[in-house]
Each structure stands twice: as structure tokens, then as C-alpha cells.
């Protein structure tokens, strides 16, 4: 008999909530026919009940609607978010994991508030200093994990080593792969390149013989797409800039392709013949398919869905949470830090 997983969902976080949240859950149940997933939905109970009946794929036996009278607005400071108290949908969904009622949290809400409240309630894994925000990026071969994407502006060499271990376990858990290659994002491949934190992390990773991955060394930004390295590690400042640059570039490419094929009758005819090829490209670059960044380092996994994500994007966050639970990620991370003496 398969293990039952309980996913806590903040129904009131992000744009167009709870409508897009419920629609995303509907898609999730449509694709996941198993009965081993319970969704604990935290939000305004009456508002949710009004909307949920029009969705036909939601298994009512596998969904629990828990009333949360308050919510965390997207534009409030972290301090004000905490002041809102313990009756917000975000707080209650996170606390359900601490109580053992849920196994993972998914929220489209305020990123800073989600991180701080999660740290406050769930605490860090013993021995870890900082959490990392990890995301999935497409490459020529498959996908990469990139972290940190913005949780920490400054990182020590110890943090970078920790991120390497956590990111490798994340890749292994969600893609069911045994061999993982990790590298440090740097401005060059030569050993003299980079700041002191990167250089020291590089030395530690080369000297550690008990790592759960193969260490490749330095990776330059233009090499991420190649797929030779599955886990790309950097600090949150650099990682967030890289993320926003990649998202902007993908949007630029798809927009320019669309404009080029609409300039004349001949280009429109050319588009007809190239339709399926460009449809595949657009699908590969669609950020909704990779929606869902993961806070790693906490005692339970927390998924941050993009605030402006639509129902399909939110569905992908739910699917990601299922794969993380099925891959037993947190226990594997904890076991690795027992086996790896990171200093």
C-alpha cells in the first residue's frame, strides 16, 4: 500500500486567489488519479466553497477545507506579515506541517514572509546556517537545479557547500537519477577566478570524498544551458540576477519569433510550415512548466509558487511537491549532513 501524502496549500496567496489555486488543484487531481494525496486547503472557507463546486476533477474525499480568517497581502513587509498573527492562511498552512497534519507547504504568497515564517515555525535542519531557494531550469539535455535564487544575498563557502549537497539531493529526488553532477557558478573556469567564498568552497568540494554527487568545478553562465552539470550553485544575489536575466531572455526570444512570423504574408506562410517546431520551442521555454521554487534547509519542504502564476503553473507546483515527498527529500538531506562533516 502506497504512503499517504498531505499537501498544505495556502489558498489566499498570490494574484487571483483562491480561484487560480482551486483551478490548479483541479488540474492536479485530473492528472493524479491516485488516492494517496490529501490536499489541506487553508483560506476563507465560504469563499472557497462558492468556487469549488464548479470544478469536476477535485476529489472531495481527498480535499480538506480549513478556514483561515486572515491572509498575508503581497505588498506587506515581513514584520507586518508576522503581526497579522497566526490566523492567516500562510501561517496556518505552515503550522500544519509542524503539527504533523501536513508534509509540505505550497504558497503563491509574499516570498519574504513565506521564508521568515517558515524558518520561525519549521526551524532549520540542525547544523545548517541558511536556507536556499532552488529552482528548475530547462537545458539542452533535460533540466538543471539552480540555487540560491534569492534567499541569501551573502553566502559563505560553507553555505555554498551545503547548497551543493541539498541541491544534489533535490535533483535526485524529483528526477529519480542516481548520478548527479554539481558545479559552482563563476566568472571563469580557471582556479584563480572568483571571490574568496567561491574559491574556498571549490577547495572544500574537491577535497571532500564523501559527497553525494560528482563535483565538476566552475561553471560559467553560458554553460548552464548545456546540461553537462545538473546542479548549479551560487549565492542568492548572483542567482536571482541570473534567474531574472534568463526569464527575460526567454520572453524576448518567444516574443521576437512571434513578431517575425507576423510581418508579411510570406512569413505567415512560413509560420504555418514551422508551427509544430515553434510550438515545441515555446513549450520548452514556458516558465509555467517550471513554476515552484523550493526552500531547502528547513525541517520540512516549502514550495514558493510565483505570485502571478496561473492555474496550470500552480498545478506544476503541486506536482513538484508530490515528487519531492515521493522522493523522501528531507530525510535524504538530513542523512547526507550526518555523513558529510561540512565546516
* Residues 133 and 226 placed together within one structural domain of the fold: yes
Quick one: which of 158, 146, 222 has its CA closest to 182? 146
Per-residue pLDDT of the chain (343 residues; tens, 9 = 90+): 467 899 999 999 988 889 999 999 999 999 887 678 999 999 999 899 888 988 888 888 889 999 999 999 888 888 888 888 889 999 999 999 999 999 999 999 998 899 999 999 999 998 888 999 999 998 888 889 999 898 888 999 999 999 999 999 999 999 988 889 999 999 988 877 888 999 999 999 999 878 888 999 999 999 998 999 999 999 999 999 988 888 888 888 878 877 887 878 877 777 776 767 777 777 777 778 888 899 999 999 999 998 888 999 999 999 999 999 999 999 889 888 766 655 5
Q: Which residue has the cell 558545479?
A: 183
For residue 64, what are the domain limits?
A: 1-128+297-343
* Residues 115 and 171 placed together within one structural domain of the fold: no
* Residues 84 and 139 placed together within one structural domain of the fold: no
DSSP character for 263? S
* Residues 141 and 253 placed together within one structural domain of the fold: yes
* Residues 56 and 166 placed together within one structural domain of the fold: no
Per-residue pLDDT at 283: 74
Domain total in the chain: 2
* Residues 145 and 231 placed together within one structural domain of the fold: yes
Q: Which runs of consecutive H residues, i.e. helices, occur in the chain?
A: 19-31, 45-52, 78-83, 89-98, 111-122, 157-175, 196-207, 236-260, 265-285, 311-326, 329-339
φ/ψ of 171, rounded to 5, equals -60, -45
* Residues 157 and 136 placed together within one structural domain of the fold: yes
Is residue 151 a contact partner of residue 130, using CB atoms and an 8 Å limit?
yes
Per-residue pLDDT at 338: 66
Among 250, 267, 289, where does a domain finish?
Answer: 289
CATH code of the domain covering residue 308: 3.40.718.10
Distance between terminal CA atoms of the chain?
Answer: 41
* Residues 148 and 284 placed together within one structural domain of the fold: yes
Among 247, 268, 289, where does a domain finish?
Answer: 289
Q: What is the 3-state secondary structure (H, E, C) of 282-305?
A: HHHHCHHHHCCEEEECECCCEEEC
Burial 141-161 (b: 16+ CB within 10 A, else e): eebbbbbbbbbbeebbbbbbb
* Residues 109 and 178 placed together within one structural domain of the fold: no
* Residues 183 and 67 placed together within one structural domain of the fold: no
Per-residue pLDDT at 1: 47
Among 289, 309, 334, where does a domain finish?
Answer: 289
* Residues 140 and 284 placed together within one structural domain of the fold: yes
Adjacent-strand bridge partners of 94 = none
Burial of 190 from C-beta contacts in 10 A (0-12 / 13-18 / 19+): exposed
* Residues 136 and 273 placed together within one structural domain of the fold: yes
Is residue 61 a contact partner of residue 45, using CB atoms and an 8 Å limit?
no
Amino acid at each position: 500500500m502506497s504512503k499517504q501524502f498531505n499537501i498544505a496549500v495556502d489558498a489566499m496567496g498570490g494574484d487571483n486567489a483562491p480561484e487560480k489555486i482551486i483551478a490548479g488543484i483541479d488540474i492536479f487531481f485530473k492528472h493524479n488519479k491516485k488516492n494517496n494525496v490529501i490536499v489541506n486547503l487553508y483560506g476563507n472557507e465560504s469563499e472557497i466553497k462558492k468556487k469549488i463546486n464548479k470544478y469536476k476533477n477535485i476529489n472531495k474525499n481527498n480535499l480538506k477545507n480549513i478556514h483561515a480568517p486572515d491572509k498575508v497581502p503581497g505588498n506587506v513587509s515581513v514584520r507586518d506579515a508576522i503581526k497579522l498573527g497566526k490566523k492567516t492562511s500562510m501561517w496556518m498552512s505552515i503550522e500544519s506541517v509542524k503539527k504533523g497534519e501536513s508534509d509540505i507547504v505550497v504558497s503563491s504568497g509574499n516570498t519574504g514572509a513565506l521564508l521568515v515564517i517558515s524558518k520561525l515555525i519549521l526551524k532549520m535542519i540542525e547544523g545548517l546556517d541558511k536556507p536556499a531557494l532552488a529552482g528548475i531550469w530547462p537545458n539542452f539535455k533535460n533540466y538543471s537545479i539552480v540555487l540560491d535564487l534569492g534567499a541569501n544575498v551573502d553566502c559563505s563557502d560553507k553555505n555554498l557547500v551545503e547548497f551543493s549537497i541539498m541541491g544534489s539531493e533535490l535533483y535526485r529526488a524529483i528526477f529519480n537519477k542516481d548520478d548527479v553532477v554539481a558545479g559552482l557558478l563563476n566568472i571563469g573556469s580557471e582556479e584563480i577566478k572568483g571571490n574568496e567564498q567561491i574559491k574556498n568552497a571549490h577547495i572544500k568540494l574537491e577535497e571532500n570524498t564523501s559527497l553525494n554527487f560528482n563535483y565538476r568545478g566552475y561553471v560559467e553562465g553560458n554553460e548552464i544551458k548545456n546540461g553537462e552539470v545538473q546542479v548549479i550553485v551560487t549565492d542568492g544575489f548572483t542567482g536571482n540576477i541570473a534567474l531574472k536575466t534568463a526569464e527575460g531572455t526567454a520572453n524576448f526570444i518567444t516574443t521576437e519569433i512571434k513578431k517575425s512570423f507576423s510581418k508579411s504574408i510570406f512569413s505567415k506562410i512560413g509560420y504555418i510550415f514551422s508551427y509544430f517546431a515553434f510550438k515545441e520551442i515555446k513549450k520548452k521555454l514556458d516558465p509555467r512548466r517550471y513554476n515552484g521554487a523550493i526552500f531547502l534547509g528547513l525541517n520540512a519542504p516549502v514550495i514558493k509558487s510565483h505570485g502571478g502564476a496561473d492555474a496550470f503553473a500552480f498545478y506544476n507546483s503541486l506536482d513538484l511537491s508530490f515528487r519531492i515527498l515521493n522522493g523522501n527529500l528531507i530525510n535524504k538531506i538530513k542523512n547526507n549532513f550526518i555523513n558529510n562533516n561540512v565546516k
